[in-house]
Structure 1
Amino acid sequence: MVPYVFDPNNDLAQINDVSMRSTIKKKSGNQKKENKKTKTPSNQPIWGYGDTSSPLTADQCSFVVVLTSCMILCCVFYNVSPQYESFASPIPRDYTARLRNSQRPTIDVSKCSPRQTIVFLKTHKTGSTTLARLIELYGYKHSLTFVRKIGEGRSIHFGNRNLNYKSRKMFLPPPNVTKGDYSNYKYNIFTLHVRYNRAVLNTFMKKDPVHITIIREPSAQLESAFMFFHFGKYVNSTAEGIPPFEAFVSNPTKYRKAASSIMGYNDQMFDLGLSKKSFLNETIINKTIARLDQDMDLVLINEFYDESLVLLSKLLC
């Protein structure tokens, strides 16, 4: 398309707006009276283009130039580029139609069966509660059963307990199962805070469970736990003039009460089954990590939450 070029000599003669001509006529009359008083030299260029024969004054020319500029803009946006609906909306008119008619990726349901049994081992201050709610929504969607403790009240956490084969006595019975009929206490979804014990967990879960957990960068997890569990009350750093957490990490042995808490001392590995007495035993630590690597179908990472959720969705179908 050939771009429009403004020609003041030709285009201004084509102005057909009646009110504009009237306005110009009135201004011309007034200008003539003023010219008689001021006696503007006849050879003075008025247009600014060296055209001394123009009947319009400088003010009139400026007004017309502005008007013509507006007309040009209208031509550009409405005639030259009709695909734009407005100045504020550069979206093509047919965008919605193209999107509606576009081919979207589909999942072959025949090749994908949603997993029915999920064991999610929560870890402290890693974003695990958020993930637990997402997994529970998945369970609600598929009408699955959940492990819930008796007398849950306002707390949805089970506590950092060591599970054993009698732990199911603290659970609410599944739907249509008589209370106390523990052999039939079988569930689809587990999303509570407990220490990892695969053998015990599998006794009250339905067949073919998926085992998952989530971890977080240790220093970030420690700082979050320090704040959440109010470890700062054990650290008197006012005299030192530094924040409690900074004082604690600079000299943990000075604040033994805070340092001795499981929540502030390798808490993630403790949740995953490592005993406190083995915290400094590198051999046992490596064996525990190797065992978890075999046991877990997926380990999500807090710092890569979105990517982890994509992997989880693929695992659960």
Structure 2
Amino acid sequence: MAWTMRLWRPRSLGVALGIFMTIGFGLQLLGGPFQRRLPGLQLPQSWIPSLGPAVKSCLPRQRLVFLKTHKSGSSSVLNLLHRYGDQQGLRFALPAHYQFGYPKLFQASKVKGYHPQSSDSQKPFHILCHHMRFNLKEVLQVMPSDSFFFSIVRDPAALARSAFSYYKSTSSAFRKAPSLAAFLSNPRAFYRPGGRGNYYARNLLWFDFGLPFPPETKTRRMSPHVLRDPKPFQSHAIPSGAGPGKLFPAITTAPANYEQPASLASPDSEPSSFIQWGLAWLDSVFDLVMVAEYFDESLVLLADALCWSLDDVVGFMHNAQAGGEQRLRTASKSAVTGEDPQLTARARAWNNLDWALYIHFNRSLWARIEHYGRSRLHRAVAELRARREALAKRCLMGGGALDPKYITDIRLRPFQFGSAKVLGYVLQSGLNQKDQEECERLATPELQYKDKLDAKQFPPTASLPIKASRLAPP
């Protein structure tokens, strides 16, 4: 009786009511599409390390859904998907322009050439990968339920630095602030929910994943559920000896000893049930979530999960801002001085939902690495970087990314947006035809490659020349 009375005290009743509401909302959001997605949620065999000879016993996955998140290295992933689909003759679910109605939730009707079908087997597309705000119900109208769903996340502190520079003219909150430090010192002085472009200014990853926002982020000055890990990530590099890649610096924020922590957070700082539900739902939908700070490791796991070769995932960095690599290297140091620690803490607190996402998927990545095998991963990462360096020497003038002022070929010049220059590539002269074609695919920016695919899939419609007025920021 005493236990029953405690259960129905006002505080307990409120907690129970909140849980019931969350479950009800989840069931309403998932509905039929989630049930149809279930067959594709089993653990793929290729995720388990092979104990025998390195012979592929699986078939390459070619039905893919990539959620392209903002400012998280997703343009580089997009390039490898463009190249793979182009070479394999796969059909892309393409937007009419460059995004699927972003920032609105994805709608199947926005896919060029889409016609409603009665069954998954009749769906004509292999790859859905361009910018959208994720909407599972509508995605499943276009792609089979057993497609491989994956995405990528980035530390919200690093993401905030990149987004502030890139979207300063787009977000009303960023435009009003003289600097990122000034913005984060008092975000409410600049930020208004629903303001023009302000989805770029707070919890951008959570927004891109299409998740609803909990009430506290709308009504309170600062959410009390700022996720704090009792065992903060420590700088602990993989003992590979390979050294960081020139194009993708190795950023290490893994938990010590590469072990998955026992819990997400201590009881006093445990995220709300709403956040926990969102993370659990994402786990049920996405087969893999890559981590930008471990890009090469993520690529190896992606190739393994898709039964692709390393050559299928090797490539160059795209849509990188000038100075971005140096900022990544600085951020990877365990000891920082000045305002960086405070700025980082404020960025993570302001973007608390993104920080919860990042902690969650960082841990799941390293749990996956443990299953894959650290020694095996070390060898694969070293091989991937060696292949990238060889391609860079063979293909690129100067062996790396260049300031856009040196890029005169409009087919290879990346779209310039924001205050920082977006770097691109110039090809070596004198390449034979085979190398020229391969190197062009590796160096082609996402917007130009999308137009190339569009012209290939819809030949009766001539592609329009690329104009700044038509382009949307990647």
Question: TM bucket by the smaller chain?
Answer: 0.5 to 0.7
What is the distance in 1 between the residues matched to 2:74 and 2:101?
Answer: 13
Higher relative contact order (CA closer than 8 Å, sequence separation 6+): 2
Letter in 2 for 1:287: W
Are residue 108 (structure 1) and residue 55 (structure 2) matched? yes
Q: What residue in structure 1 maps to residue 94 of structure 2?
A: 148
Q: What residue in structure 2 maps to residue 203 of structure 1?
A: 141
What is the distance in 2 between the residues matched to 1:309 and 1:248?
Answer: 34
Letter in 2 for 1:199: K
| Residues 186, 206 of structure 1: 8 Å contact kept | no
Q: What residue in structure 2 maps to residue 161 of structure 1?
A: 104
| Residues 196, 272 of structure 1: 8 Å contact kept | yes
The TM-score, its normalising length taken from structure 1, stands at 0.55
Please, which runs of 5 or more residues in structure 2 have no aligned partner?
1-51, 218-222, 226-271, 308-474
What is the distance in 1 between the residues matched to 2:108 and 2:210?
Answer: 19
Task: Provide closer, same or farther for how the CA distance between residues 207 and 107 of structure 1 changes in structure 2, counting only shifts above 3 A.
Answer: farther
Task: Provide closer, same or farther for how the CA distance between residues 169 and 254 of structure 1 changes in structure 2, counting only shifts above 3 A.
Answer: closer
What is the distance in 2 between the residues matched to 1:121 and 1:107?
Answer: 30
Q: Deviations over 1:208-233 (max 9, x none)?
A: 20000100001111121111111543
SS in 2 for 1:308: helix
What is the distance in 1 between the residues matched to 2:279 and 2:288?
Answer: 13
Q: Deviations over 1:189-223 (max 9, x none)?
A: 01122222223212211352000010000111112
What is the distance in 2 between the residues matched to 1:135 and 1:190?
Answer: 10
1:129-148, aligned counterparts within 5 Å? 129-148=75-94
| Residues 144, 188 of structure 1: 8 Å contact kept | yes
What is the distance in 2 between the residues matched to 1:198 and 1:256?
Answer: 29
What is the distance in 1 between the residues matched to 2:85 and 2:76?
Answer: 15
What is the distance in 1 between the residues matched to 2:116 and 2:186?
Answer: 52
Q: Which of 222, 225, 242 is the aligned partner of 2:163?
A: 225
Q: CA deviation at 1:290?
A: 1.0
What is the distance in 2 between the residues matched to 1:221 and 1:120?
Answer: 19
What is the distance in 1 between the residues matched to 2:282 and 2:116?
Answer: 32
SS in 2 for 1:289: helix
Task: Provide closer, same or farther for how the CA distance between residues 295 and 206 of structure 1 changes in structure 2, counting only shifts above 3 A.
Answer: closer
SS in 2 for 1:187: coil
Give the number of the structure whose alpha-carbon radius of gyration is greater: 1
1:181-196, aligned counterparts within 5 Å? 186-196=124-134
Q: CA deviation at 1:315?
A: 0.8
Q: What residue in structure 1 maps to residue 74 of structure 2?
A: 128
How many residue pairs get aligned? The number is 194
SS in 2 for 1:119: strand
1:168-317, aligned counterparts within 5 Å? 168-173=108-113, 186-206=124-144, 208-230=146-168, 231=171, 232-235=174-177, 237=178, 244-257=179-192, 261-278=198-215, 279=217, 280=223, 282-317=272-307
Q: Deviations over 1:16-52 (max 9, x none)?
A: xxxxxxxxxxxxxxxxxxxxxxxxxxxxxxxxxxxxx
Q: What residue in structure 2 maps to residue 118 of structure 1?
A: 64
1:63-74, aligned counterparts within 5 Å? none
Q: Percent identity?
A: 30
273-282 or 301-310, larger mean C-alpha shift: 273-282
What is the distance in 1 between the residues matched to 2:128 and 2:206?
Answer: 19
Q: CA deviation at 1:276?
A: 3.4
Letter in 1 for 2:190: Y
| Residues 100, 132 of structure 2: 8 Å contact kept | no
| Residues 117, 207 of structure 1: 8 Å contact kept | no
